[in-house]
Structure 1
Amino acid sequence: MSQPTAPAASLSCSALSFRLPDGTEVFDGLSLSVGRGRTGLVGVNGSGKSTLLRLLAGRLRPTAGSVTVGGHLAYLPQNLTLDTGLSVESALGITERRTALRAIEAGDVAERHFETVGDDWDVEERALATLGSLGLGGIGLDRTVGQLSGGETVLLRLAALLMERPDVLLLDEPTNNLDVFARRRLYEAVDSWRSGVLVVVSHDRDLLERVDRIADLHAGSVDLYGGGWSAYQEALATRQEAAGRMVRAAESDVRRQKRELEEARTKIARRGRHNRKMDEQRRAPKIVAGAHKRSSQESAGKLRGLHEGRLQEARERLDTASEAVRDDAEIRVRLPRTAVPAGRTVLTLRGLRPRFGSLRDGELHVQGPERIALVGRNGSGKTTLLRTLTGELAPLSGEARAFVPLRFLPQRLDVLDDGLGVAANVARMAPGIADNDIRAQLARFLFRGARAEQPAGTLSGGERFRAALAAVLLAAPAPQLLMLDEPTNNLDLASVRQLTSALDAYEGALLIAGHDLAFLESAGITRWLHVGERLTELDPGEVRELFEPPDAIG
């Protein structure tokens, strides 16, 4: 791939095309130029956001076209893994410079030490300051990655990128797995970005409000909108309203052209009958009658061709107008078998101490169709608690008892067998349910026809989530307690709406571990529990204070 020269702090691609190894076309001639400042890249799951970021970062090679990067580029991928035995200083990439500094301070004046340090004499102070700005000031440089939570690991990798002083920074879903406190630090880092080009792929609305522009990836092209998420939503709604009016006008034109074509055909037929009748009455010679017939047919052909051409043009205008209207399909499903009577005991915890996390004495009584949110810092043990409730992990002490059928949808979506189709995955969890019934329900989860046969391993992120959600909700016996662990991670906002509509149809009890306040509120949460040494119930004011992001800086 060619890398043309470019001015510092710039990012663009020209006529970019990319195909997957199986020949699937992702991009065909995409061109994009991103200026200084903060850009939020959005689009539905499967539109190619992460693929585009990997192309821009040079991690993938385009089929055609070029990427132009001005200055030093740093990239934070979505699925981040770090060696758990790695030290913090190694993760930051400063081990050699720290070692050289210590040698020089100890009196070793070998030239190689000075070459290693270069001009970075304050590297240790800069590293600690960078860690501190992301809320990691207390972890130290000699601690290992294995001692950090998942959210701290993400922030540590971001700190390493910031230490590089990049001109162009690419972030792919950086808020995934971050608790509300870590998210605040990330928001502050984005707010304070002033040094060049920042492109962030995210479904986090609070983060997207803090960007300077939104780049909307749709149908293989990108449209730019000034402002953050709210401004984009308003502009998109205006466009969609205009597109809807164009579709309605085009549909009206098609109907009119069809009517005029039918009227023209009737007129041609009537005129032909009239001419034949007149020739018969006049007893016109065959040669004259033939000439009249040919003339009539030519005239009729021209008139018919004119109206057929107008109808075709009207249909093309309708097709063009329809392409501008987005299809935000929603899950529409009824799940009455999941209903739980208001007074029925669903779940009890007594003196529960899970194997991992901060919880020491968990007490909880869940009745009826309650909807409970589990919130707390990364590492507090929310996921461990849910896995303990399923029976997957044995507690260190205490007990947890479920009195109704329960199902658990984990972050990793590992309830699916990648080698089986969507319908087969559901059938695996719903023995005894007729295949036709499964397919009818899957159609309401937007898996229609052949889509229900697609292997789970080939699904996009959003499709995989819908398939996993369908497998859990359509299971037999029907779940009357549904537990979800960070369900909005890796979901675009359209998929979050689909999840919300599915949960609207669910009539059982819900237990959701999450950090996405907007989603939790849309899910109709009735109780908020903070996971610490105990399960502490929060009132609405405490919830708002916990989740409230800091004011944007600039």
Structure 2
Amino acid sequence: MLVLQHLGYAHPNKDVLFDGLNLTVGAHQKVALIGNNGVGKSTLVQLIAGELTPTTGLVHADSAPYYVPQHFGQFDTWTVAQALRIDAQLTALHEILDGQATEANLTTLDDDWTLEERAHDALHHWGLAGVPLTQPLAGLSGGQKTKVFLAGLSLHQPALVLLDEPSNHLDTAGRQQLYHFIRTTASALLVVSHDRQLLLLLDAVCELSKRGLTLYGGTYEFYLEQKQAESNALQQDVQSRTSALRKARETEREALERKHKLDARGRKHQAKAGLPTIVLNMMRNSAENSSSRLKGIHAEKVGALAQELQELRQELPDLDKMKFGFDDSGLHRGKTLFAAHGLNYGYAAGLLWPEDLSFQILSGERLALRGLNGSGKTTLLRLLLGELEPTRGTLLRAASKAVFIDQEYSLLHPRLSVYAQAQQFNTAGLQEHAVKIWLTRFLFTAPYWDKPCSTLSGGEKMRLLLCCLHLSHHAPDLIILDEPTNNLDLQNLEILAAALHDYRGTLLVVSHDEAFLQRLGVERTIHLHQRPAL
């Protein structure tokens, strides 16, 4: 069992990330941990794993958790044995076999004489047969690194498992193996993920937000239903407060108009009555004070309603605030953009694909490019973009304007500010205020305009790039996306899917995320097969 009690964490600069979190995960329970980028999901998992120390509160677990982290190169200096957390035991084993059967080595090994064999079996189970335990992680692909950490599950058989975006770098086969583990394991799971197929395998959903942790006692589908009900209720509250605010302002205006008419009539009668000046001044001051009090009462009511409405609107999902409007591509639907005949590409070891490729891509199509890790998807994309030329065969290119959105969003310049980056794409010559209106529509308000692009999260970079594409005078003929769902939270996935749904040009997507491909309406798939290893 895992228990969090009043858990809080503050960054070294004293900024509080979250506070007062409470959660219980029972034995064998499988819980999804979701939330927008930046709310602290990965930090929370690191606190539970013991990699960080809470500022307040406590974490209690009946057994030591096994943690599969996200990786962005910070583990490249580790060996496979270190990632599996067996390096000290292996060193002790080898020293014992070399004759150094010291008490320290025997204690470290703890009679686990089959450890090395079981480690190789675990790696083999996750598709890493032949990878040595001394292999540095720097020499492995992203998917292979993930599988190394996942192999530790087979090796250690932990009772509590923490997974942080485990499917990000896995190909389709790797994802299916991960899904099988989640379905069949008896371990308790706490999983950070935006992978819908994975989320549907879990028992409950826990959402981390500015309000804290909210546990939804049901599947991800139940969570979506509850969130939709909450969104509907919030929309009704916004409409109700908007109506009340409009009515309060009308009432304020009518009351002040009536008061002004009465005061004017009173002053006319007072002048006819011939009252002394001092009395007239006293009556005029009284009327002014009365008007001021009346105005203050109405202003207070209007201000309170306006504040309530502003707070409600801030709770609206960001997707509801955004507007989309991709223009259509200038190419007519059905025009041949790419035609490959007997295409192949050669490296030093020989040709990349076991069979030459022949295919067409037509304007307006939505296609997926699929293949296992190492099957040459990136090489084919570079051929389509004209960055490489075929070793064999021909490739006709007719797309005059193609946009390639890679996982690093390299179309964005890291040193430019958000506003300066938007101006780079402002080919229509929009005025400064118009560009900033577009930025605001994509959730980049004034505090963001001077921020360097390098400081943005993955989801923010994606939104900025979408905004930049909107600012371009002409929509691209072709958009290519390379694993676009990696490192995006569910909120930004919805934003990306909605934007691409409105795009009427040609779409080519490299992704293993089946749910995302279905959302985009992918019609056809180009499959790449890998040349067998010699």
Structures share a fold, TM > 0.5? yes
Counterpart in the other structure of 1:541:
none
Counterpart in the other structure of 1:183:
175
Pick closer, same or farther for the CA change 1:16–1:100 going to 2, 3 Å. Answer: closer
- Give the superposition deviation at 1:367: 3.0
Aligned residues of 1:373 and 1:513 also touching (Cα < 8 A)? yes
Counterpart in the other structure of 1:363:
358
Moved more, 481-490 or 437-446: 437-446
- Give the superposition deviation at 1:411: 2.1
Query: What amino acid is aligned across from residue 363 of structure 2 in structure 1?
Result: G
- 1: CA distance, partners of 2:404 / 2:338: 15
Pick closer, same or farther for the CA change 1:123–1:35 going to 2, 3 Å. Answer: same
Correspondent of 1:315 among 306, 309, 314: 306
Aligned residues of 2:73 and 2:138 also touching (Cα < 8 A)? no
Deviations along 1:196-218, whole A, 9 cap, x unmatched? 4x332211111112233322233
- Give the superposition deviation at 1:175: 1.0
SS at match of 1:414: coil
Counterpart in the other structure of 1:387:
382
TM-score (norm 1): 0.79
- 1: CA distance, partners of 2:474 / 2:287: 73
Counterpart in the other structure of 1:350:
342
- Give the superposition deviation at 1:298: 5.2
Query: What amino acid is aligned across from residue 462 of structure 2 in structure 1?
Result: F
- Give the superposition deviation at 1:514: 1.0
Counterpart in the other structure of 1:409:
405
Aligned residues of 1:152 and 1:182 also touching (Cα < 8 A)? no
- 2: CA distance, partners of 1:279 / 1:131: 99
RMSD: 3.9
Pick closer, same or farther for the CA change 1:57–1:476 going to 2, 3 Å. Answer: farther
Pick closer, same or farther for the CA change 1:434–1:286 going to 2, 3 Å. Answer: closer
Counterpart in the other structure of 1:493:
490
- 1: CA distance, partners of 2:461 / 2:275: 76
Query: What amino acid is aligned across from residue 214 of structure 2 in structure 1?
Result: D
Correspondent of 2:521 among 520, 524, 531: 524
Counterpart in the other structure of 2:146:
154
Correspondent of 2:204 among 213, 217, 223: 213
- Give the superposition deviation at 1:236: 0.8
Counterpart in the other structure of 1:202:
193
- 1: CA distance, partners of 2:242 / 2:425: 45
Correspondent of 2:31 among 17, 39, 42: 39
Q: How does 1:414-433 map to 2 (within 5 A)?
A: 414-422=410-418, 424-425=420-421
Counterpart in the other structure of 1:173:
165
Counterpart in the other structure of 1:240:
231
Correspondent of 2:317 among 326, 348, 357: 326
Counterpart in the other structure of 1:262:
253
- Give the superposition deviation at 1:100: 4.6
- 1: CA distance, partners of 2:377 / 2:523: 18
Deviations along 1:300-341, whole A, 9 cap, x unmatched? 555444433333333333334334332314451333345345
Aligned residues of 2:4 and 2:24 also touching (Cα < 8 A)? yes
SS at match of 1:482: strand
- 1: CA distance, partners of 2:268 / 2:77: 99
- Give the superposition deviation at 1:280: 3.9
Q: How does 1:469-484 map to 2 (within 5 A)?
A: 469=466, 479-484=476-481
SS at match of 1:416: coil
Pick closer, same or farther for the CA change 1:227–1:124 going to 2, 3 Å. Answer: farther
How many residue pairs end up in the alignment? 520
Aligned residues of 2:428 and 2:471 also touching (Cα < 8 A)? no
- 2: CA distance, partners of 1:450 / 1:311: 28
Deviations along 1:122-154, whole A, 9 cap, x unmatched? 534653564466x33744655845775432320
- Give the superposition deviation at 1:490: 1.2
- 2: CA distance, partners of 1:158 / 1:334: 41
SS at match of 1:14: strand
SS at match of 1:93: coil
SS at match of 1:336: coil
Counterpart in the other structure of 1:543:
none
Q: Which structure 1 segments of 5+ residues have no match?
A: 1-7, 535-554
Aligned residues of 1:370 and 1:509 also touching (Cα < 8 A)? yes
- 2: CA distance, partners of 1:340 / 1:59: 55
Aligned residues of 1:46 and 1:462 also touching (Cα < 8 A)? no
Moved more, 252-261 or 436-445: 436-445
Q: How does 1:17-166 map to 2 (within 5 A)?
A: 17-18=10-11, 25=15, 27=17, 29=19, 31-36=21-26, 37-54=29-46, 57=49, 65-66=56-57, 68-70=59-61, 71-81=63-73, 88-98=80-90, 100-101=92-93, 110-124=102-116, 126-127=118-119, 130-131=122-123, 135-136=126-127, 138-139=129-130, 142=133, 144=135, 149-160=141-152, 163=155
- 2: CA distance, partners of 1:281 / 1:419: 76
Query: What amino acid is aligned across from residue 380 of structure 1 in structure 2?
Result: S
Counterpart in the other structure of 1:16:
9
Q: Which structure 2 segments of 5+ residues have no match?
A: none
- Give the superposition deviation at 1:255: 2.4
- Give the superposition deviation at 1:365: 2.4
TM-score (norm 2): 0.82
- 1: CA distance, partners of 2:474 / 2:246: 50
- 1: CA distance, partners of 2:492 / 2:331: 24
